[in-house]
């Protein structure tokens, strides 16, 4: 084993990882947190695989060079840590604990506070979009896709139209990966989505690790994610392929309370709500209470609120109130934010775990503490 460790360490040493700069002062962090929490301002800017292929395995080529040596993924999800030095001796098996994942969470949260120069003042919404898009490729009939693998790292999947702009989210998380090289990209992206939801005042989302990173051969085909230009039949087809029912489709759609569309990505333009960096049930309230007209512009078909002309809805959003089965859930969530939070929490847990061959049990999920 020592000889294997030495060989893999030499292979990994060709890749350089930089450390994150020292944390800012307590005063600066407090100010950043206050800015982040207050960012709810009304502001805008213009085929099945063989079972063996899914088995976790030790890959020397994927050794991760870190401050303490190199890490090697083992069959049980733990990591073997090799110590740097001429002897190349091993330190033994490193099994991350909840405290370790809390440290990863805290660094992500810290970066969300400090990096407030994106869109409406937060990377939070695009981090949620990354977690959703890496998970929403799952196909229950073939058991392919999903968050296990982080295959959006590779051009075939990263270049899909639905994933346009997500390089910003992946780049945002790269310093976290460098500081904690033992965490897989698959776990990092989903954990970051949980962190973003919680730090944007959303519900606490139970989460568990156990995803492995996979190679380019596991990239999913284009067309598995929703197309905002379509209507209810498309929503049921896309989400039904993942195993979601009408209630879950409407609950997941509530994530449109945060973020915005960009003309250079989806072609659409604008935010869905007046507080695009805070998780609330406002999306449903706005759908029901505002008057919506088609926007007169050169872009794709989208709706615009009649009152302020600053909000937008997609055809897939309007389908939720045009379809009576969808609308009854919109009504429920618009009336009670707590009901929305509970259903959103449950369906997000399901989404982030689709297709993942966990060795842990559902009761092993952990709730990581928000920093705010």
Which residues are within 8 A (CB) of 333 and not within 5 positions of it... i.e. 6 or more apart? 250, 251, 254, 281, 284, 339, 340, 343
Distance CA 205, CA 257 (A): 17
Would the CA dihedral through 59, 65, 66, 70 be positive or negative?
positive
Q: Which of 182, 207, 272, 292 is catalytic?
A: 272
d(CA 30, CA 112): 13
The answer to whether residue 272 is catalytic is yes
Distance (Å, rounded) from C-alpha 195 to C-alpha 368? 8
Q: Considering only CA atoms, which of 334, 6, 339 is closest in space to residue 203?
A: 339
Do 95 and 78 contact (CB within 8 A), yes or no? yes
Catalytic residue flag (residue 292) = no
For residue 127, the cross-strand partners are none
d(CA 368, CA 102): 6
Q: Are 84 and 69 in contact (CB under 8 A)?
A: yes
User: 252 near 136, Cβ under 8 Å?
Assistant: no
Per-residue tokens: 99 = 């405290």
The catalytic position among 133, 160, 256, 329 is 133
CA distance linking residue 150 with residue 192, whole number of Å: 13
- Name the residues annotated as catalytic: 133, 272
């Amino acid at each position: 084993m020592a000889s294997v460790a030495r060989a893999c360490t030499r292979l990994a040493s060709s890749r350089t990882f930089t450390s994150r700069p020292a944390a800012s002062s307590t005063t600066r962090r407090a100010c950043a947190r206050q800015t982040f929490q207050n960012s709810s301002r009304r502001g805008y800017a213009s085929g099945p695989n063989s079972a063996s292929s899914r088995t976790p395995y030790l890959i020397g080529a994927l050794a991760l060079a870190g401050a303490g040596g190199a890490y090697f993924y083992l069959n049980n999800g733990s990591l073997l840590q090799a110590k740097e030095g001429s002897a190349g001796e091993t330190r033994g098996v490193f099994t991350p604990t909840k405290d370790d994942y809390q440290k990863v969470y805290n660094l992500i949260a810290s970066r969300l506070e400090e990096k407030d120069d994106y869109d409406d003042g937060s990377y939070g919404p695009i981090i949620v979009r990354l977690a959703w898009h890496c998970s929403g490729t799952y196909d229950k009939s073939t058991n392919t896709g999903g968050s296990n693998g982080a295959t959006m790292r590779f051009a075939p999947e990263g270049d899909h139209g639905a994933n346009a702009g997500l390089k910003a989210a992946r780049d945002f998380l790269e310093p976290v990966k460098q500081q904690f090289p033992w965490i897989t990209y698959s776990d990092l992206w989903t954990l970051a989505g949980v962190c973003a939801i919680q730090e944007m005042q959303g519900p606490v989302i139970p989460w568990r690790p156990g995803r492995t990173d996979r190679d380019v051969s596991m990239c999913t085909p284009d067309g598995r994610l929703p197309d905002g230009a379509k209507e209810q039949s498309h929503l049921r087809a896309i989400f039904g392929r993942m195993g979601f029912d009408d209630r879950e489709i409407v609950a997941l759609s509530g994530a449109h309370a945060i973020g915005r569309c960009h003309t250079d990505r989806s072609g659409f333009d604008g935010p869905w709500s007046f507080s695009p960096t805070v998780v609330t049930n406002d999306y449903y309230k706005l759908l029901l209470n505002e008057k919506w007209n088609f926007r007169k512009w050169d872009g794709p078909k989208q709706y615009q609120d009649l009152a302020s002309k600053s909000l937008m809805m997609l055809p897939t959003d309007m389908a939720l109130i045009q379809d009576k089965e969808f609308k009854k859930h919109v009504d429920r969530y618009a009336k009670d934010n707590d009901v929305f939070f509970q259903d959103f929490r449950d369906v997000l847990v399901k989404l982030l775990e689709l297709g993942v061959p966990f060795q842990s049990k559902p009761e092993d999920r952990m709730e990581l503490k928000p920093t705010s």
